[in-house]
Structure 1
Amino acid sequence: MRTVLVTGTGGAGRTALAAATARRAGRALLITADGGISGPDVVRVDGGAFFRRHMGALQSGAAAALDYLGATPLEAEELTGLAGAESLALLAAWRTALDEGGHDTVVVDLPPVHQALRLLALPEELRRYLTRLLPRERRAARALRPLLAQLAGVPAPAERLYTAADAWAAGLARLREAVEAPDTSLTLVLEADRRAVRELPGVRAALALHGHTPAAVVVNRLLPAGSPDPWLAELAAAQQRAVKDLAEQLPVHEVPHLGAEPDTGRLAALLPGPADAAVRNGVTVDDLLAAEGVLLWRMPLPGAEREDVGLVRRGDELIVTVGPYRRALALPSALRRCVIERAGLREGELRVWFAPDPAVWPAGR
């Protein structure tokens, strides 16, 4: 099953284009948080309802701990919306659609691009946090929990908490696989203005940080050239200048302005065909031990500026920062036994040179 993720700058018309993408794809399911779209092949998510439902389940699972602390569970009427719940609801609906099947394509109407970047990073980040907070070996030591509870003088976490943790880990792994799958592509929707031109390099770098390359860049709502109205003519000319600047960074597909509420069928006919398999900007490691005595770790970051990129090693992880975005990447086994010699941003790549640590590197290698 193919997945098309649709995001873009705020106000660029990404929701209308997501609906049109689903129409063009045929047997497609559209997942959206927009309350104005409905239909038999549309799943509308409600972040507030999602939070209330899962908060109730969480309180039920932690009833013993809440009782021990003397805490009173919240009633459903007391629960208000939670920031980020809509993103979690979108991810949950996407996972359900993948598990249930029934469609050839799933189109996910993501929030504006900066929120979408954080949403796409959630499965990997949450799974990492879960692994740190409830390690597999701790979840496996079920027989020791009653004894530890007696020694500590506090109730042991309910069995269902660990069962739920296993289920969460499996669900997050499924979502991470979906985000990184070769049949998952991303469409970026932009308006033809100077803001889009300024923001595109940073958006490309942030997407690349998480291994994504836009399969299609749609420049939406273009005005026709040659208007007798001087104001409209100048606005159309400014749009064309922006399109030219955007096209210097990535190939773009132009879509004309179809009014405030464009017809979905007409818009679908103007969109590009199905994108090729997504290209993943994965990390690579070059073995330069024989020639230079180092291993070279490389991550493509097209569009990144040197002053926006940060790098920290923490144990067996590299934490890479691009602007406000951050990703923790596990180091391969060989690099864990090395020290960082130097690092730099060159030709659109973050490059880190690792030299073997004599204290832990196998002799004769």
Structure 2
Amino acid sequence: MRTVLVTGPGGAGRTTVAAATALATARSGGRTLLLSADPLDTLLGTPPGPGPADPAWIRDGLWAARVDSGDHFRTELLALQERVTPALDLLGARPLREEELTELPGSGQFALLHALRRAAEGDWDVLVVDLPPPREALATLALPEQLRRYLRRLLPRERQAARALRPMMAQLAGVPMPAQWLYDMAAHRDAELAAVQSVIEDRGTTLRLVAEPGPAGEEALRLARAGAALYGLAVDPLVPNRLLPQDSADPWLATLAAQQRKSLDAWRGTGTHPADALRPVTHLGRDPHGPDDLALLDTAAGGLAVDPDGPAGTGPREEPGRVEDRLAEDGLLVWCLPLPGVAKSELTLVRRDDELVLTVGPFRRIVPLPSVLRRCTVAGAALTDGLLRVRFTPDPALWPRSN
């Protein structure tokens, strides 16, 4: 299955492009599901289904479902409350009722990940997901890996005592041992997070960036590409949206069109967005209404459809951890990570025990070092031509010695 995650700066038309991508893919023969937390009634002409388990059929092999963060929050909180009811009863707490629950900030991220996991379990050729703006979208996609790390640190499985030994362990330690249900719940959550993480990291999953050409979108795109590289996400061809006609006789429109053309030329000239990796979408002169308008956007773009069997992304996905062996040359091992468009001033790198803590602007990732590098010391780092190279020297105290 191919999964296309669509994001872009606020107001760039990412939801419209996501819908047009899904419809074009369905019309080309791929059984397609569109997921979005935004209203889709106007774009699709039909209300979406209440969730990925019950999507609404639109037309031409296209189904659509809504990500309902409020419903997901209430369901999860009530399930947790039921789980800890004995403890709440001991405290004399009054249980919360569904009608009094109001979702909290951040619940939308978990609802989106839950919907992504459920949708991936379906029989789809292509899954198109309408994400929030890039900064929030990338933070959401990074959550499964981060939360699984927290669970391993706070509730390590190997430290849980057998049920028969728990009273004795509590007496010896002088403090109550964590209840078994806590470990069971952590294991359950870890399995759920692992499932959605596997979807995000799958070779068939790509990020499709949408932006309206102009100065406002350039910085957002640069950071989005840097964040995608940091988290190991492959990137689809860029979609410049709402392009104005270049031959307008109106001076005002002609000026705006010239500004857009300048931005497109700059994107092509940087090498980050090569000419064949652009899928421009022409402005219809109105807000799109219904599938027929979405089909016009696909025609104007020269093809937004996703090939379920085609290559995923504009280049090979490179995960953090590729190591160059240069021991024979200068006694170094080099750890490499592509970071296109990142400036040295916004990059920080810290080694913490057997991990590297990488920060790029607003994004952070903690990467476990390969076993061979855990027995080395950091000798230096350099960011050149969009590639971060961290140099390691074998630690004589830990490295095997030859006789």
Listed as ranges, the matches of 1:328-343 within 5 Å are 328-343=366-381
C-alpha distance in structure 1 between counterparts of 2:99 and 2:173, whole Å: 35
Q: 1:30 aligns with which of 30, 34, 39?
A: 34
Query: Structure 2 vs 1, CA of residues 73 and 273 (structure 1 numbering), >3 Å: closer, same or farther?
Result: same
Aligned partners of 1:184 and 1:277 also within 8 Å = yes
Q: 2:283 aligns with which of 254, 257, 263?
A: 257
Listed as ranges, the matches of 1:27-66 within 5 Å are 27-37=31-41, 38-39=47-48, 40=56, 41-66=63-88
C-alpha deviation, 1:230, in angstroms: 1.1
TM-score (structure 1 length as normaliser): 0.93
C-alpha deviation, 1:200, in angstroms: 2.5
C-alpha deviation, 1:153, in angstroms: 7.1
Aligned partners of 2:20 and 2:304 also within 8 Å = no
C-alpha distance in structure 2 between counterparts of 1:355 and 1:84, whole Å: 42
Question: Match for 2:224: what amino acid?
Answer: V
C-alpha distance in structure 2 between counterparts of 1:330 and 1:231, whole Å: 54
Question: Match for 1:304: what amino acid?
Answer: V
C-alpha distance in structure 1 between counterparts of 2:199 and 2:161, whole Å: 27
Question: Match for 1:45: what amino acid?
Answer: V
Aligned to 1:209: 230
Comparing 3-12 and 69-78, the one that deviates more: 69-78
Aligned to 2:386: 348
Aligned CA RMSD, in angstroms, stands at 2.1
Query: Structure 2 vs 1, CA of residues 157 and 52 (structure 1 numbering), >3 Å: closer, same or farther?
Result: farther
C-alpha distance in structure 1 between counterparts of 2:278 and 2:208, whole Å: 11
Question: Match for 1:36: what amino acid?
Answer: L
Aligned to 1:277: 312
C-alpha distance in structure 2 between counterparts of 1:66 and 1:320, whole Å: 41
Aligned residues: 364
1:292 aligns with 2:318: no
C-alpha distance in structure 1 between counterparts of 2:256 and 2:107, whole Å: 38
Q: 2:340 aligns with which of 280, 302, 315?
A: 302
Secondary structure at the counterpart of residue 319 of structure 1: strand
Comparing 7-16 and 37-46, the one that deviates more: 37-46
Question: Match for 1:12: what amino acid?
Answer: A
Secondary structure at the counterpart of residue 146 of structure 2: helix
C-alpha deviation, 1:335, in angstroms: 0.7
Aligned partners of 2:33 and 2:64 also within 8 Å = yes
C-alpha distance in structure 2 between counterparts of 1:54 and 1:247, whole Å: 46
Comparing 42-51 and 294-303, the one that deviates more: 42-51
C-alpha deviation, 1:73, in angstroms: 4.1
Aligned to 1:5: 5
C-alpha deviation, 1:213, in angstroms: 3.4
CA-to-aligned-CA distance 1:85-119 (integer Å, 9 cap, x gap) = 112111111111112x2221111111111111101
C-alpha distance in structure 2 between counterparts of 1:138 and 1:156, whole Å: 11
C-alpha distance in structure 2 between counterparts of 1:211 and 1:300, whole Å: 9
Question: Match for 1:80: what amino acid?
Answer: T
Gaps of 5+ in 1: none
C-alpha distance in structure 2 between counterparts of 1:178 and 1:140, whole Å: 33
C-alpha deviation, 1:30, in angstroms: 0.8
C-alpha deviation, 1:136, in angstroms: 1.8
Secondary structure at the counterpart of residue 241 of structure 2: strand
Secondary structure at the counterpart of residue 364 of structure 1: coil
Query: Structure 2 vs 1, CA of residues 142 and 223 (structure 1 numbering), >3 Å: closer, same or farther?
Result: farther
C-alpha distance in structure 2 between counterparts of 1:337 and 1:116, whole Å: 36
C-alpha distance in structure 2 between counterparts of 1:64 and 1:149, whole Å: 20
Aligned partners of 1:61 and 1:158 also within 8 Å = no
Secondary structure at the counterpart of residue 280 of structure 2: strand
Query: Structure 2 vs 1, CA of residues 210 and 161 (structure 1 numbering), >3 Å: closer, same or farther?
Result: same
Query: Structure 2 vs 1, CA of residues 255 and 59 (structure 1 numbering), >3 Å: closer, same or farther?
Result: same
Query: Structure 2 vs 1, CA of residues 126 and 166 (structure 1 numbering), >3 Å: closer, same or farther?
Result: same
Secondary structure at the counterpart of residue 169 of structure 1: helix
Question: Match for 2:221: what amino acid?
Answer: L
C-alpha distance in structure 2 between counterparts of 1:138 and 1:63, whole Å: 26
Aligned to 2:147: 126
Question: Match for 1:280: what amino acid?
Answer: R
Query: Structure 2 vs 1, CA of residues 198 and 183 (structure 1 numbering), >3 Å: closer, same or farther?
Result: same
Query: Structure 2 vs 1, CA of residues 139 and 188 (structure 1 numbering), >3 Å: closer, same or farther?
Result: farther
C-alpha distance in structure 2 between counterparts of 1:145 and 1:29, whole Å: 48
C-alpha distance in structure 2 between counterparts of 1:303 and 1:315, whole Å: 29
Secondary structure at the counterpart of residue 23 of structure 1: helix
Question: Match for 2:39: what amino acid?
Answer: G
TM-score (structure 2 length as normaliser): 0.85
C-alpha distance in structure 1 between counterparts of 2:352 and 2:142, whole Å: 19
Question: Match for 1:34: what amino acid?
Answer: D
C-alpha deviation, 1:150, in angstroms: 5.3
Aligned to 2:60: none
Aligned to 2:105: 83
C-alpha distance in structure 2 between counterparts of 1:336 and 1:123, whole Å: 24
C-alpha deviation, 1:54, in angstroms: 0.7
Aligned partners of 2:282 and 2:297 also within 8 Å = no
Aligned to 2:401: 363
Listed as ranges, the matches of 1:194-205 within 5 Å are 194-205=215-226
C-alpha distance in structure 1 between counterparts of 2:161 and 2:25, whole Å: 44
C-alpha distance in structure 2 between counterparts of 1:142 and 1:362, whole Å: 42
C-alpha distance in structure 1 between counterparts of 2:109 and 2:364, whole Å: 18
C-alpha distance in structure 1 between counterparts of 2:99 and 2:170, whole Å: 34
Aligned partners of 2:32 and 2:125 also within 8 Å = yes
CA-to-aligned-CA distance 1:299-340 (integer Å, 9 cap, x gap) = 110100000000011111100000011000000111111111
C-alpha distance in structure 1 between counterparts of 2:254 and 2:298, whole Å: 26
Secondary structure at the counterpart of residue 287 of structure 1: strand
